Amino acid sequence: MQIIILCLLILISDTSENSSALYVVNVERNGKIIYTWKGNQRNTHIGLYDRQTKQNEHLYMFERDLHIISCSVNSERTLLAVSFRQYTEEERVSRLLQSVSKYLTLLIEIHPINNVRVLKAVDSCVRVQFLYPDEGRCTSTESRLLLASEDKYIEQFDIHVVAEEEHKVVIQNSGQLPRARVADDLIWAQWDMMEQRLFYIVPKLESHLDISVHDTRLKLVNFGYDYCQDREVAPKSLNLQVFTSKAGGLCVCCSLASDIPDEITYSIYFLHKGYNKTFTVSLERAETHQLKEVAFLNLDYYVAAYLPGQFLHLLNIQHPDLLCYSLFLTGEDARVDMLPSCSIQSPLVSTVLDCCAGSIYAVSISDTALLQFLRNSKQDSERLAALHCALLCVGSTTDLETQIIWWISENLSTCHTFDPIQEFIIASLYCRMCPEMHNLDKLLPYTSLLDWIGVIPGVTCATDIISLPILGVQNSKGFWDKLNSNLESVKYAEPHLHYHNNVLRREWLNLSEEKEERRTTAYLRNILENAKKVLSHLDTWDCEERLTPLFQEEDYQQQLLMGLMVSQLKDHLMRHLQYVGKKKIDQIVLDYVANLLNLIHRMMKEVWRRYELHSCVFCFDKRGSAAEFAVFHIMSRILEAANGMCLPLPPGFHTLHLGLGVRCLPLHTLLHYIDTGVLHLTEVCVRKLLKDLDNTEKNEKLKFSIITRLPEALGQKVYQFWNHPVNANFIARKYVKLLLQKLGNGQCSRPVPERHSVPVEFLPLNYLTNTLAGIENQGLHPCEKEDHVNTRFVEETALRHTMMLLGLKYS
């Protein structure tokens, strides 16, 4: 199984001569690849491959067999800079060419092919790289060229061109080209093609990174690829690379020397977070002679540390705080077939260059392989990392979400350190919402975990705080603006910026416990209005999609929670995104809560479809099937997950859950679930249960057990649907209790009149009915809306129940 998929990018065809091996020598900002090959006359050709159009363009030919070291073409494709080796040391001695320079660097006019100018003729290797203007900028008459020398300096040439007759483009000045030193005494430098940034290290500058830079050879990264020189790793060169991400991540990856032969150590400095992590990996097969240095790959959302034949470590750049978000693969899982065991580099995001073969590959993380890995994983750390990688990196698709939901339904009891339902909901919401706006990723939760104390077998990790970089960029835009925003978040304790549900839970409980007469305040009306707006977002759903009977009733408690969540999330975003505007934040919040309900509905729909359930869950005359019991168990876990994070549920969820519980559970278990709050009594389900079930002894016991557990307000609504003496007895007792409470409150002051119309001489009952009649006569009737409930109803119910207990007939 392979997590990483590669596709060969450079496919050269239709060359005019029978070509020998092709080698990539550079990748420009626009993604175009410069390559070289030898013709049948041993001429040296330079070509350009366009990844978008899949077309090749011949740039230049040398009528000699040259070893091209570095090559770059400007954005207008009018100038070509080439660095090559003229002779080896042995060739110079044999030809008595000691005074001839070993290396030559040329600037060539190629539109059309015209003049050639020598930039460098030296004995040290030189790498060349044109700077590219921002996309959309008009064609310029000026080109800038960087030259990086093995003599540990970088300089910049400013080249002006003019257009002459017949569309010729020539260099303007015939004299020496203007140039300026960029840096001296280098030990390491890297060119970032996509963002046109130069990173370098010089010993005389203070370094806040704990990296030894003494006695190291110069190493140039992404300044072209000399496939001959890169075959062997320089023993004293610094294996270090800088990666940036679209979200403003800045990482320094460094492989460190280890004194233990069967261990590899590497560090990732998350400069945008203010700390670094140093990993020590115990190798499974310590074959020292086969080991190469760790290669670092840029996958935008992840940085991959790769050691062929040993491990592949995907590190989450956005959320590197918890180790469980890093996907560490070994053995067959870490195998990447197309990549060799020699030196590789990552010149662009999601690309890999095979420096030995001179081939470049597109890299992607396979969702199919991730799902397979998720299914086969035995450890929570692997499951959680694969789940987040699938949702946040690969991106949520309908098919991917379906596969994950199916996996969750099968593995609810196998995850011990995290709740897969909570992680699925929160990570999916984060993935859907964060692209809408910059900085939203710092305010919305991305996980349900506050910490994680697990371990990854074979890997130890040490975390150290480092100084935040100081940016001197004026009018920063794009990457620099996002990086600065990340640094500001770290300064102001980033974990506290993420929305949390503590206040929401407390407020919801307070509102839920308030008396009915207090629920007409303006604040409460606003909360319920928020809930209506959320539900209106879901009205466009196709009724055919509603395989589960959700969103078909009102649920006051859930609407209260929805409205509160809208209100508090809106306040949270307004504190940190004032510049966005209230209207936009309102839309974001409504979308967030609506997407939350949509995800829970989506889970229910997939589970419903998988177990082939129908509307029979609301037929109480039969017991539930094994499939219904499985769905009931999943719904119980969804409820547990929602309660744990104080998340609202779709209206109708509790009715559906209770209906399945009545069908699937024995009575004592059903009542225990009701008493402990796992099952919630709803008016829709109780009313249907009272109406549809006949009055057998078993059903009477079930109905009476349900009736006695109903809240008073709900009981008043559903008592009338059960025409049975047991229910009448219960209603009568409730009526007596209410009247006697009024009597105890001193609301009855006149003497109770004698009653002579009672047909049965039963003195305790006679006294009770006289007392109740007196209270009724004072206008303290507690059930005006239910005229059939009065003292006469109480009297008849008591007599009927007494006769039933004595086994006598009541006429």
Domain locations in the chain as residue ranges: 502-680, 727-806
pLDDT band at 347 (very low <50, low <70, confident <90, very high): confident
Task: Judge whether residue 810 has pLDDT over 70.
Answer: no
pLDDT of residue 1: 47
Separation of alpha carbons 725 and 727, rounded Å? 5
Task: Judge whether residue 307 has pLDDT over 60.
Answer: yes
Mean pLDDT throughout 242-257?
Answer: 87
End-to-end CA distance of the chain, in Å?
81
Is the pLDDT higher at 770 or at 569?
Answer: 569
Report helix, strand or coil for 811.
coil
**For the whole model, what pTM was predicted?**
0.78
Stretch among 402-411, 635-644, 767-776 having the lowest mean pLDDT: 767-776
pLDDT of residue 614: 74
The verdict on whether omega for the bond into residue 764 sits within 30 degrees of 0, i.e. cis, is no
Burial (CB count within 10 angstroms: exposed 0-12, middle 13-18, buried 19+), residue 237: middle
pLDDT, tens digit (0-9, with 9 covering 90-100), for 353-402: 877 776 778 888 888 888 889 999 888 888 998 998 888 766 667 788 88
Separation of alpha carbons 25 and 57, rounded Å? 15
Separation of alpha carbons 374 and 367, rounded Å? 10
Which DSSP symbol is given to 333?
Answer: G
Is the pLDDT higher at 793 or at 144?
Answer: 144
Stretch among 236-245, 339-348, 396-405, 621-630 having the lowest mean pLDDT: 339-348
Query: How is residue 719 written in tokens?
Result: 């008592």
Report helix, strand or coil for 428.
helix
The top-scoring range by mean pLDDT among 453-467, 704-718, 786-800 is: 453-467
Task: Judge whether residue 764 has pLDDT over 80.
Answer: no
Mean pLDDT throughout 693-702?
Answer: 79
Quickly list DSSP for 488-535: HHHHT-GGGGS--SHHHHHHHHHHHTS-GGGTTSHHHHHHHHHHHHHH
Separation of alpha carbons 489 and 439, rounded Å? 9
pLDDT band at 547 (very low <50, low <70, confident <90, very high): low
- CB-based contacts of 717: which residues, under 8 Å, 6+ apart? 683, 687
Which DSSP symbol is given to 463?
Answer: E
Query: How is residue 398 written in tokens?
Result: 């309908």
C-alpha atoms less than 13 angstroms from C-alpha of 359 in its C-beta half-sphere: 15
pLDDT of residue 407: 93
248-251 long-range contacts, CB within 8 A, separation 24+: 248/272, 248/479, 248/481, 248/482, 248/483, 248/484, 248/485, 248/486, 249/317, 249/318, 249/483, 249/486, 250/469, 250/483, 251/303, 251/317
The top-scoring range by mean pLDDT among 95-104, 298-307, 767-776 is: 298-307
Buried b (16+ CB within 10 A) or exposed e, 738-769: bbeeebeeeebeeebeebeebeeeeeebbebb
pLDDT of residue 752: 44
Strands 219-221 and 188-192: parallel
pLDDT, tens digit (0-9, with 9 covering 90-100), for 495-541: 577 788 878 888 888 877 765 445 568 888 888 899 999 988 776 55
pLDDT of residue 305: 92
pLDDT of residue 18: 46
pLDDT of residue 28: 87
pLDDT of residue 45: 92
Burial (CB count within 10 angstroms: exposed 0-12, middle 13-18, buried 19+), residue 682: buried
Stretch among 78-87, 190-199, 324-333, 491-500 having the lowest mean pLDDT: 491-500
Q: Which stretch of DSSP H or E encloses residue 668?
A: helix 667-675
Report helix, strand or coil for 346.
coil
667-673 long-range contacts, CB within 8 A, separation 24+: 667/701, 667/702, 667/705, 670/702, 671/705, 671/709
pLDDT band at 760 (very low <50, low <70, confident <90, very high): low
State the chain's mean pLDDT as an integer. Answer: 79
pLDDT band at 86 (very low <50, low <70, confident <90, very high): confident
Query: How is residue 537 written in tokens?
Result: 């977002």
pLDDT of residue 388: 87
Task: Judge whether residue 590 has pLDDT over 90.
Answer: yes
pLDDT of residue 4: 59
Our separate counts of H helices and E strands in the chain read: 19, 29
SS3 content of the chain, % helix, strand, coil (to 5): 40, 20, 40
Is the pLDDT higher at 645 or at 235?
Answer: 645
pLDDT of residue 13: 42
Is the pLDDT higher at 704 or at 755?
Answer: 704
Report helix, strand or coil for 759.
coil
pLDDT band at 106 (very low <50, low <70, confident <90, very high): very high
Separation of alpha carbons 129 and 105, rounded Å? 12
pLDDT of residue 542: 47
Which DSSP symbol is given to 608?
Answer: H
Quickly list DSSP for 534-591: HHHTTTTS-GGG--S--SSS--HHHHHHHHHHHHHHHHHHHHH-TTT-HHHHHHHHHH
With a pLDDT cut of 70, the percent of the chain lying above it is 74
Instruction: Mark out the alpha helices in 611-652 (DSSP H runs).
Output: 626-645
Mean pLDDT throughout 244-264?
Answer: 85
Mean pLDDT throughout 315-344?
Answer: 81
pLDDT of residue 788: 60
Query: How is residue 258 written in tokens?
Result: 């280890």
Report helix, strand or coil for 198.
strand
Task: Judge whether residue 325 has pLDDT over 80.
Answer: yes
Is the separation of the CB atoms in 311 and 457 below 8 Å?
A: no
Mean pLDDT throughout 672-697?
Answer: 85
Closest listed residue to residue 504, CA positions, set 703, 647, 367, 625: 647
Instruction: Mark out the alpha helices in 37-158 (DSSP H runs).
Output: 89-94
CA 384 to chain CA centroid, Å, is 11
- CB-based contacts of 93: which residues, under 8 Å, 6+ apart? none
Task: Judge whether residue 120 has pLDDT over 60.
Answer: yes
- CB-based contacts of 784: which residues, under 8 Å, 6+ apart? none
